[in-house]
Amino acid sequence: MDIVVQKYGGSSVADVEHIERVADRMVQTIEGGDRVVAVVSAMGNTTNELLELSRQITATPAARELDMLLTVGERITMALLSMALHARGHEAVSFTGSMSGIITNASHTGARVVEVRPFRVQDALDEGKVVIVAGFQGVSYRREITTLGRGGSDTTAIALAAALGARHCEICSDVDGVYTTDPRVVSDARLLDAITHDEMLDLSEGGARVLHSAAIDYARRHGIAIYARSTFGQPETGGTIVRVDLDGARPEVTAVAGRKDRVAIRRNTSSASEALVWLHGLSEGLGDGDVAPVRTAVTGTEPAVAEALYELENVPDPEGFVERLQGRHADAVMSPVHGVVVVVGPDVGTSASFSAAAWSALGDLQGEALGFETRPRTVEIRLPTAAVDEAVRRLHAALIPSS
């Protein structure tokens, strides 16, 4: 029998009624002949509620203790879902991230998976049990409990799918799949049948929230097909498949996304080697509540400019973090918090005519642009946060056919 990994997000397990529905959905997959591993998030707004509790104690909670607190949410869900499956006549067992063999680096609140040792999970499957795993968490090589950052349950699911040799991984949520843009911003956004790992990674890093970027990158490197589907639809049907390659003719533009939580720090250095040393230091010795940059770059050789880009979504105290970063690097220049809009397609970054069309579609927003960057599959425009949604609407209307 094949192994299928299913991940259920917070809205899918928001309360007991939702957990019961997830259990029913899993039973359909089990009775179809597959062995099932489910990775679950915390119920509803539990993680935000736990964060708020921590803020009532201190604005800058110790990162280690924050991880200890936040991992409680997924443990509640895994136990309740296991109970629901037992009630339906299916033997199930729940495991934490550490019990499942999710080994991470030593970074708290934003750890990266470095190895998966799913021995207990495999043993339970071989015994005919359904396995429920707490997402978003693991254990470091220092034997400390860690969390993987917002959306980290996606990474847990993909990592387990790769380690177990699963047929595929389903990411189940309250949306039908991946759209051409956020339907909350553009009402006529269209559901995509398929998208490549590379395009989905660019889209996720640009702000699309259906799939977590670290999970997509892991799936790409391990060749894992992802199905993004609705929890409330039938198993094995509908949604968007994310895979390595797509067949047939492709439209020039696949999708548009935007996000509003970025800040960059830039420093002039005498050489590229000095720039690299400085950038490396940004990720070392971080204090509680601090995070590593999501992207770094060095321009030039002698002299050189070092730049680090941060996303503030997962930072417990964004304003305090920015102040501490600027305080530690007084000789560097900090950008204002800004947004970014990305246009993703097979060859958009290499098409001069496309770049002109995208720039023209912005109209009067051109004057507000803070930067413009092209890569093979992506055109990225930095904008003030207040301009992001309008830029997404204009670019989607101009570049993506309505039917």
Pair 380, 326 in one domain: no
The span from the CA of 99 to the CA of 79, in Å, is 14
pLDDT of residue 51: 85
CATH code at position 369: 3.30.70.260
Beta-strand ranges (E) seen in 149-254 are 168-173, 194-196, 226-230, 240-243
Report if residue 42 sits inside a domain: yes
| Of 283, 300, 334, the domain-final residue | 334
Pair 130, 204 in one domain: yes
| Of 190, 215, 243, the domain-final residue | 243
CATH code at position 318: 3.30.70
pTM reported for the whole predicted model: 0.81
How far apart, in Å, are the Cα atoms of 157 and each of 217, 233, 254, 317, 388? 13, 19, 25, 28, 31
Pair 288, 375 in one domain: no
Based on the structure, what is the number of domains in the chain? 3
Report if residue 249 sits inside a domain: no
Write out the two tokens for 151: 């959306």
Pair 270, 225 in one domain: no
Q: With H, G, I as helix, E, B as strand and everything else as coil, classify residue 6.
A: strand
pLDDT of residue 104: 95
What is the extent of the structural domain holding 210? 3-243
| Of 308, 334, 360, the domain-final residue | 334
The span from the CA of 390 to the CA of 372, in Å, is 17
Pair 45, 108 in one domain: yes
The closest of 212, 39, 45, 48 to 134, measured between CA atoms, is: 39
The closest of 182, 122, 110, 206 to 150, measured between CA atoms, is: 110
Question: Residue-wise pLDDT tens for the chain (403 aa)?
Answer: 799 999 999 999 999 999 999 999 999 999 999 999 999 999 998 988 998 898 899 877 888 999 999 999 999 999 999 999 999 999 999 999 999 999 999 888 888 899 999 999 999 999 999 999 999 999 999 999 999 977 789 999 999 999 999 999 999 988 889 999 998 899 889 999 999 998 998 888 887 878 888 889 999 999 999 999 989 876 666 889 998 777 766 778 889 999 888 888 888 888 888 888 888 777 665 555 567 777 788 888 888 888 888 878 767 677 777 878 777 788 888 887 888 898 988 877 777 777 778 888 888 887 777 777 788 888 888 888 888 999 999 999 888 877 6
Report if residue 266 sits inside a domain: yes
DSSP state of 309: E
Pair 169, 213 in one domain: yes
The span from the CA of 161 to the CA of 167, in Å, is 8
The span from the CA of 262 to the CA of 321, in Å, is 12
Write out the two tokens for 352: 């001069």
Report if residue 252 sits inside a domain: no
Pair 77, 55 in one domain: yes
Pair 230, 361 in one domain: no
Type and span of the H or E element at 37 = strand 35-40
Pair 37, 85 in one domain: yes
Report if residue 151 sits inside a domain: yes
Pair 317, 371 in one domain: no
pLDDT of residue 131: 98
Q: What is the DSSP string of 311-349?
A: E-TT-SSHHHHHHHHHHHTTTSEEPPPEEEEEEE-SSGG
Pair 78, 156 in one domain: yes
The total number of residues shown for the chain amounts to 403
Report if residue 327 sits inside a domain: yes
CATH code at position 152: 3.40.1160.10
Report if residue 64 sits inside a domain: yes
Report if residue 125 sits inside a domain: yes
Pair 164, 274 in one domain: no
